[in-house]
Structure formats: structure tokens, C-alpha cells
Amino acid sequence: MKYTEEHEWLRAEGDEVVVGITAHAAEQLGDVVFVELPESGANVTKDDEIVVIESVKAASDILAPIDGEITAVNEAIVETPNMVNDDPEGDAWFFRMTVADASQMEDFMDEAAYKAFIG
């Protein structure tokens, strides 16, 4: 898995990348009460605001970590937003996407670097 400074994780699965938020991000947000996901088939550019997540503490936008096309979204977290708190790096993934430029993945941290980043 790779990690962004915005506390997203990316996991390559075949020719797609699965994206979610880290356990650290979920903990900082508190109890998640609402998630709005992008449309499947949408073309996104790195740093586009594509997910809205609301918790009892705050509302946040999740940015596209890379350029590509959304191929699937996790409707389960829309119906049960607290899944994000229960399993943020597992079943509570946000979306899958194809990657326009695979070299963009090289810009992200590995697990050790991310752990150092969050202290």
C-alpha cells in the first residue's frame, strides 16, 4: 500500500487502484455520519475534490490522489458510514480507479514513511 500526506491509502489490484482513508484519518474525524462518493465512470484529475465525508466533528473533502477513471464505488459506506471508523483500511474503501499515469504512484509514501509522517 501507498499513502498520501492527505491520509489516503492506495492499493494496487491488477490494473486498478483501490483508494480509502487511513485509520489515522478516521480516528481524527471521529464518528463518520455521511459519505458522498463520485460517480462510477467519472474521469478525475489529481487533487480534484471527489468525496465528501462528514463526521460529528467536521466535514472534509477527499481529493483524487492520481489521474484516472473511477471504475467502482463502495455503496456500502454510503448506506453505513460508520464502516469508515470500523475498518478504514479494509472493507471501507471508497472507490476503485484506473490510473492514467502509473508513475504518479511513485510520489507516495510506503507504510514506514507514513508512520514516521504521522509521528
Does residue 117 lie within any of the structural domains? no
Does residue 13 lie within any of the structural domains? yes
Does residue 115 lie within any of the structural domains? no
Our count of domains for the chain comes to 1
What CATH number has the domain bearing residue 75?
2.40.50.100
Give tens-digit pLDDT for 104-114. 999 999 999 99
8, 58, 77, 91, 110 from 97: Cα distances, Å? 14, 26, 17, 16, 20
How long is the chain?
119
Does residue 18 lie within any of the structural domains? yes
CA 104 from chain center: how many Å? 15
Q: State yes or no: pLDDT of 79 exceeds 90.
A: yes
Does residue 83 lie within any of the structural domains? yes
Does residue 105 lie within any of the structural domains? no
**Domain limits for position 76:** 2-100
CA pair distance 106, 49, nearest whole angstrom: 21
Does residue 45 lie within any of the structural domains? yes
Give tens-digit pLDDT for 6-60. 999 999 998 899 999 999 999 999 999 999 999 999 999 999 999 999 999 889 9
CA pair distance 45, 65, nearest whole angstrom: 8
